[in-house]
Structure 1
Amino acid sequence: MHSPTHHHRRALRRLLHASALCLGMAAAHAGWTPIAPMDEARTLHTATRLADSTVLVAGGDTGNVDGGNNPIALATTRLYNPAANTWSSGPDLPSPRFGHTATPLPGGNVLLVGGREAGPVNSANANSLLYSALTNTFAASTGQLTLRRSHHTATLLPNGTVLVVGGRGIAGQEALSSVEIFDPVTGTWSSGIDLPARRREHTATLLPDGRVLVVGGYDNGNIAAQSAYLRDPATGAWTEVPVPALNTFYRARHTATLLPDGRVLVAGGNSHVTTTLVFNPADSTWAAGPNLPAVEFGGNSATLLPGVPGNVLVAGGDSAGGASVIASTVSFASGPGQATRQPDLVTARRGHTATLLAGGQVLVLGGETTGDAVTNTGELYTHTAPLPPANVTAQPGDTQVTVRWQAPAGTGTTPAHYTVTAQPGGRTCTANYPATSCTVTGLTNGTPYTFTVVASALGGIDSAPSAPPAAATPSAAAPGGPGNAQAVPTLSQWGVLLLSALMLLAGVRLRAVGS
């Protein structure tokens, strides 16, 4: 049983939290929480959210090397359950790889393409695989790419096909210009119109009108590019969209994030600049975005957060000149009109994955950390509190009350658990999400109680208490309590009852005859 001091502190914390929500200050509670670690360290892997909200993690570079000083890749996959904060094993890939892509398809399958195998630098493969979430298996190969590639991009187009652009090939192909298209209906690949320049570690962003914007990347001479191209969805042809000399724009390993208004925010990259650029597809023009606040990125991630228009979370990456790895995070808000520092990552990292979960949190996994060590750690970013539960009811029993509630309408961070608190006394019970009831025990019969429910996200960020509170008075005679139990007749009592019924029936018949 918790001490009164504990309950007073909890009540004060919830009171302060509710006040902050009223003042529109929920973002002040944003922060990072470590999760259960993976059993294997990995970087340059993929992490894909599935329809059931679990996350499929596939492949990756271990950070170790073999006798020939070649990196050792992983063929393993793992599944992360955010609600339970647990890991389980998935099916192995046919061969180890890193620097591949994973694209969720309509219907729930995931397409894995290419990647670098264990071995020399130019050891990319041409395999493509379909993962079935329904069977938790990889289907037979969906066919071979025309060219081997890793560090490419794969973009799901509005017609359901997947556009693969560029990447690193085999010897002499430090960067590719080729384009290939996968049709999931037929399970076949076809060639598209080549990109006008060779690119790897670039970005490809699907625009609302169906065009694809390719930005930056390394060319065949390992030089970061200052160029961008648009693909016409009708013809497949590419058009350059020149980048004006707004700032230094030699970028690779950067991020490009589609904003809710259709513009694209470009941030970070190996140019190690604090500037950002914003592309406007309405007139194919570029404008300077807000500067990063004294932080320089490369190998960073960027995730569009729900709930706040234009809010993009940029996390991790290299520091100035690539001398070290950083833990900084930055949030762009107001479409974007400003950049503000956010709480630092628990572990500095680059080359990690960042996955938006169904509840609005961001899951960061793996990557390289200080000293180029590859990590098995992960952490969860929560930027808003869960919404408070709704329609709370209380059913009294003997020295206990069962409290029920409903998940609130609207969007909010998915809770990890719910806590019900009884007043007076502060006794509690806890139910893990998605349960919607629990029973507070140890109450005093005859004492009126009120009950509130608080939803808590992983990391201890609480919702405001449910309102209005539910009321109930436990009693030995309450519904479901022993005092209200109905006695079950014994066997002899059943005989007496049956005889009485027969006599009653006979009396009715006699009266009927006599009349």
Structure 2
Amino acid sequence: MANLRWLATLLMSLPIVLTGCGNGGGDSGGNTTNALTPPAGLVERDESPIYAVGVPVVPETVSNSGGAISQCTVSPPLPPGLSLDPQSCTISGTPTGDSHATVYTITASNAAGSSTTRVEIEVKDVPIAPDGLDYLDRSVIYPANAPITPNTPISTGGEITQYSVSPALPAGLAIDPQTGVITGTPTAVTASAVYTVTGANSVDSVQALLTIEVAAVAVPPVGLVYVDRLPEYIVGVPITYNEPAYTGGEVTQFSISPALPAGLTLNTQSGVISGTPTVELAQTTFFITASNSAGSATVQITLTVATAQVGSWQPADAMTLGRFRHTATLLPDGRVLVAAGNRKQATSAAELFDPSTNGWTRTGSLARSRQAHSATLLSDGRVLVAGGFGTGGGNALSSAELFDPAAGSWSQTGSLGQQRDSHTATLLLDGRVLVAGGEGQGGSTGALASAELYDPATGTWSPTGNLGQARKQHTATLLPNGRVLVAGGEDAGGGALASAELYDPATGTWSSTGSMSQARNAYAAAQLTDGSVLAVGGFDGTNALATAELYDPAAGTWSTTGSLQQARDFHTATRMASGRVLVAGGTDGSDLFVSELYNPTTGNWSQVGSLEQMREQHTATLLTDGRVLVTGGIGRGILSYTELFH
């Protein structure tokens, strides 16, 4: 599954340290001394639920590995119809009205002190489908006749209200049909097997695969990793949970060294890091140890806490449908049109984001379901969607459609001369649209060299000069002189490309220009205020890249510039109103939270606050008010979540 692939790569790529027996220290919640300690490691069972009006919520409980909780508070007040138990921190009730996506800070305290955690809640008028399902322990070996640490699901999107598992869990273990939490004491040695957990609500279902074995004796954990390896947190902003994953024997104790910065705590039972940082911290390496009676494994993460100086990420309402390989287009009135994409299969659904409310409304659906298509804002305010492919590979489309923002409806327009997906579409200075390259119909066609022009006045396409190099998953940038720079991508044989070429609208021909210093596929490009073009990250055929380079239109050459701190591909790059470039998400084997900002004056990158949801193959749109809207993508499932950088 796409949302689980990060684990396998991380287990192979990160260093693993195995040590002898030891418990790793820390307080597991069952204090062995008389000294009272503050609550610590607070973790809500469901960190970002999307509820529906009139539907009772599954009680939202909290895990605490510190001292006993005596009082709970929440800020701001929960949505109407929901309440927080002042002793247990459990959220329950039935929402009575819509509520925008909001981060709520829960504070649990006792006489020794307090600890915080976050829960992000949105209430929609109707239920939406869950995005994805995962588990804290997705591949684990339990010792027989020992109680397990409850294995808690991690769900995204619409609230899951019912869980089931197939085949039946090993004897002594059970799954809660309402919460999905797995508990019990395994009573017999059981061979390793894969169990499918299904989480459903009234709209749809999602699945997670668990590998469980019961051994006669405890075995050590191995392969410890954290979902966010390079987090940057913002002072005063509750953090998104940073969760571990591992294989081998069940972990019974987590510890960390050095101590986390003030306001953050580690749940010593689950290994989750949560809280609200209260002080700045320069980039620091922390060592986290996961242990049981048989041994331990250690991993490092590099953590930064900063004061928000250039912006931070905040939640916006979720879309009504999770999707990736979609398009997002800024309309003249400031709204954003998100069209089509993939959720389990290609969709024709479209919706509109309103920056004044940070909310979404449905609009007319396309005539064809499509993904990996292009969307171009025309000079008259309409949006041209072209090509893409339907469900399944080798199904490229030639059809094109026009969206009328005033009517909220789509109409057919002339079809492309060639079926294609993963192409580029560029609005020329004369109002025509240049479509270049892409992948053709059928696996044998591969990348395309053909290009065509759309004339909005006639609604028809005409061929224009062919690219010198067939390519797909490249970028195209309109230069100040009216020519179009196409660079990189993947060739017909699947190899990453470094070559670049220029299209001249006056002659309808392409000419070679300087090549990039590195081949780049699935990278991102942004035009700077001086007209130069920044190419950043990508995949060279072997590895994700951290390098970046600049194209000088006057000289027709590329020069290297500062490198990212985090290599990535399938990310976004957005030039902000300040002229700096925001790079967000992507993947380097695992889907990423980390975002970075490029300063054209210095040529250097600086890390900025982490995304709330790790994601790749998402979209990023600069709004008229200067904020950046990120939508969808792949993370823990196919995401409906959106967020804003401002």
Within 2, Cα distance between the matches of 1:77 and 1:177? 30
Runs of 4+ deviating beyond 3 Å = none
Residue 34 (str. 1) matches residue 315 (str. 2): yes
Matched residue SS, 1:219: coil
Please tell me the residue identity of whatever aligns with 2:437: G
Q: 2:462 aligns with which of 190, 194, 197?
A: 190
Within 2, Cα distance between the matches of 1:279 and 1:129? 33
Matched residue SS, 2:640: coil
Please tell me the residue identity of whatever aligns with 1:282: A
Tell me how far 1:336 sits from its aligned partner: 5.6
Which structure shows the bigger proportion of residues in strand conformation? 2
Question: What is the aligned residue count?
Answer: 339
Residue 275 (str. 1) matches residue 275 (str. 2): no
Name the residue aligned to 1:144. Answer: 415
Within 1, Cα distance between the matches of 2:415 and 2:320? 31
Tell me how far 1:26 sits from its aligned partner: 9.7
Within 2, Cα distance between the matches of 1:193 and 1:97? 26
Matched residue SS, 2:574: strand
Within 2, Cα distance between the matches of 1:358 and 1:87? 17
Tell me how far 1:335 sits from its aligned partner: 4.0
Within 2, Cα distance between the matches of 1:315 and 1:240? 30
Tell me how far 1:233 sits from its aligned partner: 2.7
Tell me how far 1:243 sits from its aligned partner: 2.1
Written as runs of structure 1 = structure 2, the 5 A alignment for 1:66-145 is 72-119=345-392, 121-139=393-411, 141-145=412-416
Within 2, Cα distance between the matches of 1:164 and 1:265? 21
Please tell me the residue identity of whatever aligns with 1:333: N
Name the residue aligned to 2:330. Answer: 49
CA contact (8 A) 1:289 1:336 kept: no
Please tell me the residue identity of whatever aligns with 2:374: T
Q: 5+ unaligned residues in a row in structure 1: which ranges?
A: 1-5, 7-12, 14-24, 65-71, 383-515
Please tell me the residue identity of whatever aligns with 2:569: G
Written as runs of structure 1 = structure 2, the 5 A alignment for 1:312-351 is 312-319=581-588, 323-335=589-601, 337-351=603-617
Q: 2:430 aligns with which of 133, 145, 159?
A: 159
Please tell me the residue identity of whatever aligns with 1:75: S
Q: Call closer, same or farther: CA 1:223–1:29 in 2, change over 3 Å.
A: closer
CA contact (8 A) 1:259 1:335 kept: no
Tell me how far 1:104 sits from its aligned partner: 0.4
Q: C-alpha offsets along residues 123-177 of structure 1, whole Å, 9 cap, x if unaligned?
A: 01101111101111112x2111111011100000000000000111112211111
CA contact (8 A) 1:44 1:367 kept: yes
Q: C-alpha offsets along residues 326-358 of structure 1, whole Å, 9 cap, x if unaligned?
A: 111111113462111111111110000001111
Larger gyration radius, structure 1 or structure 2 = 1
Question: After the TM superposition, which of the residue ranges 331-340 and 87-96 deviates more from structure 2?
Answer: 331-340
Q: Call closer, same or farther: CA 1:255–1:312 in 2, change over 3 Å.
A: same
Matched residue SS, 1:28: coil
CA contact (8 A) 2:545 2:569 kept: no
Please tell me the residue identity of whatever aligns with 1:59: A
Name the residue aligned to 1:303. Answer: 574
Question: After the TM superposition, which of the residue ranges 202-211 and 263-272 deviates more from structure 2?
Answer: 263-272
CA contact (8 A) 1:125 1:149 kept: yes
Q: C-alpha offsets along residues 169-188 of structure 1, whole Å, 9 cap, x if unaligned?
A: 11221111100100001111
Within 2, Cα distance between the matches of 1:27 and 1:205? 31
Matched residue SS, 2:323: coil
Matched residue SS, 2:430: coil
Q: Call closer, same or farther: CA 1:205–1:29 in 2, change over 3 Å.
A: closer
Please tell me the residue identity of whatever aligns with 2:506: A
Written as runs of structure 1 = structure 2, the 5 A alignment for 1:63-462 is 64=344, 72-119=345-392, 121-139=393-411, 141-171=412-442, 172-243=444-515, 246=517, 249-271=518-540, 272-293=544-565, 295-306=566-577, 308-309=578-579, 311-319=580-588, 323-335=589-601, 337-370=603-636, 373-382=637-646
Name the residue aligned to 1:16. Answer: none
Tell me how far 1:27 sits from its aligned partner: 6.1
Please tell me the residue identity of whatever aligns with 1:36: D
Within 2, Cα distance between the matches of 1:214 and 1:222? 18
Within 2, Cα distance between the matches of 1:357 and 1:26? 24
Within 1, Cα distance between the matches of 2:558 and 2:608? 26
CA RMSD of superposed structures (Å): 1.7
Within 1, Cα distance between the matches of 2:358 and 2:370? 26
Q: C-alpha offsets along residues 42-86 of structure 1, whole Å, 9 cap, x if unaligned?
A: 001011111111111110111x2xxxxxxx111100111111122
Within 2, Cα distance between the matches of 1:86 and 1:274? 34
CA contact (8 A) 2:514 2:556 kept: no
CA contact (8 A) 1:228 1:241 kept: yes
Q: C-alpha offsets along residues 246-275 of structure 1, whole Å, 9 cap, x if unaligned?
A: 4xx121111111111010000011231211
Question: After the TM superposition, which of the residue ranges 191-200 and 330-339 deviates more from structure 2?
Answer: 330-339
Please tell me the residue identity of whatever aligns with 2:384: L
Q: Call closer, same or farther: CA 1:151–1:336 in 2, change over 3 Å.
A: farther
Identity %: 39
Matched residue SS, 1:56: strand
CA contact (8 A) 1:102 1:113 kept: yes
Q: C-alpha offsets along residues 212-233 of structure 1, whole Å, 9 cap, x if unaligned?
A: 1101011111111121111123
Within 2, Cα distance between the matches of 1:184 and 1:108? 11
CA contact (8 A) 1:259 1:304 kept: yes
Please tell me the residue identity of whatever aligns with 1:379: E
Please tell me the residue identity of whatever aligns with 2:464: G
CA contact (8 A) 2:452 2:463 kept: yes
Please tell me the residue identity of whatever aligns with 2:425: A
Question: TM-score normalized by structure 1?
Answer: 0.64
Please tell me the residue identity of whatever aligns with 2:590: S
Within 2, Cα distance between the matches of 1:116 and 1:40? 19
Which structure shows the bigger proportion of residues in helix conformation? 1
Name the residue aligned to 2:19. Answer: none
Name the residue aligned to 1:450. Answer: none
